[in-house]
Amino acid sequence: MGIEREEPSTNPHADRYWMRRALNLAHHAEYLGEVPIGALLVRDDQLIAEGWNAPIGSCDPSAHAEIVALRRAGQAIGNYRFPGCTLYVTLEPCVMCVGAMIHARIARLVFGACDPQRGAVSSRVQLADADFFNHRMVHSGGILPQECGALLRTFFRRKRARGEVSGDACTSSPGGGPSTSEGCYNRHHAGEVPKRS
């Protein structure tokens, strides 16, 4: 069918290691007053680039952690496509970020907590598996979901306590709160690899 697809090797220990590093980046975003989400790109067990959520500080609505990491990766390797790379992010990506990852030819996406409000991999739409793309990205969810989700829930709880966020009006955030269930991803996906060929 002419669809580009890579089958990168997976290693659960490596996934947890890189997700912990992405969590550190999420903590850094929180320190800077941003919604705590972190992302990084890895190829052949080597870190290519890091990013953290920064739309407020950079006055850039597209500055989600994933986009920041992709931009830095492009600068680091001098290309706009990153075959063979795995992108780790603490929260299930949104529509914009999944689209950017497809454009970048990311081989594999690994995320932490599911985002029941805006998640575009498994929760709300399964954009990465859409048949109109000419690139297939392998994806896995539910890596360290408790840690990734707890960071966000605590962040919004504090903001609500300070009156900075009302009800579910959490813009650029997982409004209803991230799902930290190990099975949140697998409820939507029987396997990690999209079934289309």
For Zn ion, which residue of 23, 97, 104, 120 counts as binding (CB under 5 A)?
97
Binding flag, residue 19, Zn ion (CB under 5 A): no
Of the residues 30, 34, 50, 66, only one is catalytic, namely 66
Given the complex with Zn ion, which of 92 and 129 has the nearer CB atom? 92
Given the complex with Zn ion, which of 3 and 137 has the nearer CB atom? 137
Size of the site for Zn ion (CB under 5 A): 4
Alpha helices (H) in 40-197, listed in sequence order: 55-58, 65-77, 95-103, 145-161
Q: Which stretch binds Zn ion (CB under 5 A): 42-50, 97-105, 134-142, 163-171?
A: 97-105
Given the complex with Zn ion, which of 17 and 126 has the nearer CB atom? 126
Q: Which stretch binds Zn ion (CB under 5 A): 20-28, 91-99, 121-129, 171-179?
A: 91-99
Q: Annotated catalytic, 4?
A: no
Site for Zn ion in 37-76 (CB under 5 A): 64
Report in angstroms how near the CB of residue 2 gets to Zn ion at its nearest.
28
Write out the catalytic residue numbers. 66
Residues near Zn ion (CB under 5 A): 64, 94, 96-97
